[in-house]
Amino acid sequence: MAKKAEAVRKLLEKYPAMNRDKIAKKVGCHPLYVGKIKREMGLTISRKKRTPRKVTVKKNPVSIEVATLVSAPVSGVSAEVKTSYEKHNDLPPQPLATRANLLDAAKNYVTKDRQADHGDAEDNFTRIAGYWSVHLGVPIAAHDVAVMMALLKVARIKSNPEHVDNWVDGAGYFACGGEVALRDKEI
């Protein structure tokens, strides 16, 4: 990776305003890596505050190739999840890190635990979508909220693949999002 970092630095020194996607393509790395090096070199520009405006969202397919390898043993459950299991007398099956057990735990969360604590997922996703739409100035659908929350879990998995809750929560968000999206289609 040091060679790629050096290649990125050389391009940035020569062309400091070059688009990070172009640099990433030339060097063969991810654009976020280029952004990291730009920040290290002090070449980032502060963003201007955006004024809200009406935006039409067009569905354009986006393709990003990312290679990742996650191979780590599962080390446990957070205190919050353990407390939830004990509260509902629903201890996690052992070993927790089988696909069936992870999905069963997610099913319990989205049909029992979370619903009892937070209400209907579709209502919450719709409410969150409304807030995010206003904040971002673009329309956000309820199923988009589920996808973005699942992506948050993916980002956390990248930092700590051994934390079981992120895998379980991600599966739960995808299941809720699928239900919301397919229900929207049926209407």
Q: Which of the four pLDDT bands, split at 50, 70 and 90, describes residue 81?
A: low
How far apart CA 146 and CA 182 sit, in angstroms, is 13
Of residues 174 and 15, which shows the higher confidence score? 174
Tell me the three-class secondary structure of 15-50, residue by residue. CCCCCHHHHHHHHCCCHHHHHHHHHHHCCCCCCCCC
Question: Are the C-beta atoms of residues 35 and 28 closer than 8 Å to each other?
Answer: no
Residues 101-138 pLDDT 10s: 888 888 888 887 666 677 788 888 999 999 999 999 99
pLDDT category at 89 given cuts 50, 70, 90 is low
| Peptide bond before residue 95 is cis, with ω within 30 degrees of 0 | yes
Is the pLDDT reported for residue 61 higher than 60? no
- Share the mean pLDDT of the chain: 75
Residue 112 and residue 88 in contact, taking contact as beta carbons nearer than 8 Å: yes
> pLDDT tens, 137-157?
999 999 999 999 999 999 999
